[in-house]
Copies of this chain bind each other. A is one copy, B any other.
């Protein structure tokens, strides 16, 4: 018997979301649809140039955990904020939705992480992350009893950008497997895959039980030019993989099984921020309840559809009402 369905480990980030046009992205040499790491000085310059914003708790894995709680699942989260106003916001928003979050807050050093998100008229998001206090996350923050108490430990590939965070993840994965639990990762971003391709491939082969990625990420991982080739390369790893394809829905594979599930219908595409994160929420919620893989994929699609119909990466409608 476990206490949690999913334990998430991620970069604890507050999003600053603003609308921008294509010219703004060009002027500031931003690559549309990607996540770019920026330092504090760049964060200040970019923020000063951006329009008025909305602040909302974010962080890929934080969004996933909020989604699991919104579905009615039990989640816990490990991530590092500073003891400052934005840290209080991030912490409140996770706890308020019912996610256990007790990682000690940093009392000195850089401030709570911010992600400056520009949403273009095509609803695509371009992310610029100042990691701040996240860089303080390390193996000491991993409570192995908490890991053992969760059916699945789920992490974001973005954590590979900080060596100590990576060590924290590997410690958690070992603790999970020692307790007979499963571990899962999202590839996060095709540029992130580019930075850590070899490590990710070794990690998937050696440790991962459930892999999440989108079409661009999985093609980048195996350096192939079609989704079909990427699918077959993934299949050879012998793990469960849930691969998302935007409006084409998702494909889940396990051994020789393949489940292609269409996307949930949406009335209006407003902001794609959090789509992949919420897909993982729905999938893992279903998975930890023993649902068939195709049903896990459907739940992922429903959660993703809610998130892209409004600004911001956290559910506005209780997801349990939608499934």
Contact = CB atoms under 8 A, between A and B. Distances in A.
Interface in A32-85: 47-48, 50-57, 66, 84-85
Contacts of A23: none
Contact of A312 (B16, B54, B66): B54
Contact of A111 (B53, B85, B89, B92): B85
B55 A89 contact: yes
Interface residues of A, number: 29
Contact of A54 (B19, B54, B84): B54
Contacts of A50: 92, 96
* Copies of the protein in its oligomer: 2
B52 A54 contact: no
Contacts of A52: 57, 66, 92-94, 96-97, 314
B57 A56 contact: no
Nearest to A312: B54
A34 to B, nearest CB: 23
A268 to B, nearest CB: 11
Nearest to A111: B85
A12 interface: no
A322 to B, nearest CB: 15
Contacts of A311: 316
A192 interface: no
Contacts of A252: none
Interface of A: 16, 18-19, 47-48, 50-57, 66, 84-86, 89, 92-94, 96-97, 111-112, 311-312, 314, 316
